[in-house]
């Protein structure tokens, strides 16, 4: 057990953030704003927007062997840990789908068995927790899904949330969870990409670090987390 003195803790030291959105909104582009040496675990192969960036290493996952590749990525990071400032997982939603797709091929029905969902839940939580323990900035991307939520009063509403299994447990160990979306200004005919940081009935989010912003510009979130404030 580690004992830490609160007055010695740096607010933004070794942060962890989960950003989710519809595919193609610009999550991977946010990597461009990271300072320092960055390693990207590219699960879906959508890394071309990072072309030409210095100090960025991209490890492409073989979709036919997600479990083995996860272990190999962890070993690679451990081997090069002293040269790494930021770890990016792009993305967790696709990883769980590839993982379940592989195990499904080994069943008679061609579908994952009930136990497989429990296993992947544990794998995802263990992976995020293990990455956090390395003491580096950790950025996780995920797709979004819509969920119908029933209130105690009986009303039903639609909520946007990360498309990640074991979500409550993972959000419990991640201090920043934001939804990236495009906001259109009809009057100016412009589009702005923002990250929603505060939870509402319709948006699953949390912010235990910055604390005073409802939203933040897409390209300002990571520089803010890497500031010395």
pLDDT at residue 228, as a whole number? 60
At 23-71, the pLDDT tens digits run: 999 999 999 999 999 999 999 999 999 999 999 999 999 999 999 999 9
Residue-level pLDDT at 40: 98
| Exposure class string for 58-75: b at 16+ Cβ within 10 A, else e | beebebeebeebbeebee
Cα-to-chain-centroid distance, residue 189 = 31
In angstroms and rounded to an integer, the radius of gyration of the C-alpha atoms of the chain is: 18
**pLDDT single digits (tens) 63-118:** 999 999 999 999 999 999 999 999 999 999 999 999 999 999 988 899 999 999 99
pLDDT of residue 140: 98
Strands 176-185 and 206-207: antiparallel
Query: Which of the pair, 42 or 149, is modelled with greater confidence?
Result: 42
**pLDDT exceeds 70 at position 162:** yes
For Cα atoms 156, 122, 31, give the angle at the middle one, nearest 5 degrees.
Answer: 80
Predicted confidence (pLDDT) at residue 229 exceeds the cutoff of 70: no
> What is the sign, positive or negative, of the torsion defined by CA atoms of 122, 123, 124, 127?
positive
Residue 68: predicted pLDDT:
95
pLDDT given for residue 149 in this prediction: 84
Q: What is the pLDDT of residue 7?
A: 67
| Phi then psi dihedrals of residue 42, to 5 deg | -90, 100
């Amino acid at each position: 057990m580690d004992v830490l003195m609160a007055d010695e803790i740096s607010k933004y030291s070794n942060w962890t953030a989960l950003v989710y959105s519809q595919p193609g909104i610009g999550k991977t582009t946010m990597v461009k704003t990271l300072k320092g040496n960055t390693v990207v675990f590219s699960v879906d192969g959508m890394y071309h927007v990072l072309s030409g960036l210095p100090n960025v290493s991209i490890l492409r996952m073989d979709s036919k062997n997600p479990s083995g590749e996860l272990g190999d990525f962890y070993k690679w990071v451990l081997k090069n840990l002293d040269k790494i400032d930021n770890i990016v997982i792009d993305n967790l939603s696709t990883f769980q789908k590839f993982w379940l797709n592989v195990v499904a091929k080994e069943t008679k029905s061609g579908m994952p068995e009930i136990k497989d969902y429990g296993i992947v839940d544990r794998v995802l939580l263990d992976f995020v927790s293990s990455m956090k323990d390395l003491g580096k900035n950790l950025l996780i991307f995920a797709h979004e899904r819509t969920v119908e939520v029933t209130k105690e009063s009986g009303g039903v509403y639609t909520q946007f949330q990360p498309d990640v299994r074991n979500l409550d447990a993972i959000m419990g160990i991640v201090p920043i969870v934001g939804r990236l979306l495009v906001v259109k200004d009809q009057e100016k005919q412009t589009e702005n990409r923002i990250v929603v940081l505060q939870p509402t009935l319709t948006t699953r989010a949390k912010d235990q670090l910055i604390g005073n912003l409802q939203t933040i510009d897409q390209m300002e979130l990571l520089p803010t987390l890497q500031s010395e404030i």
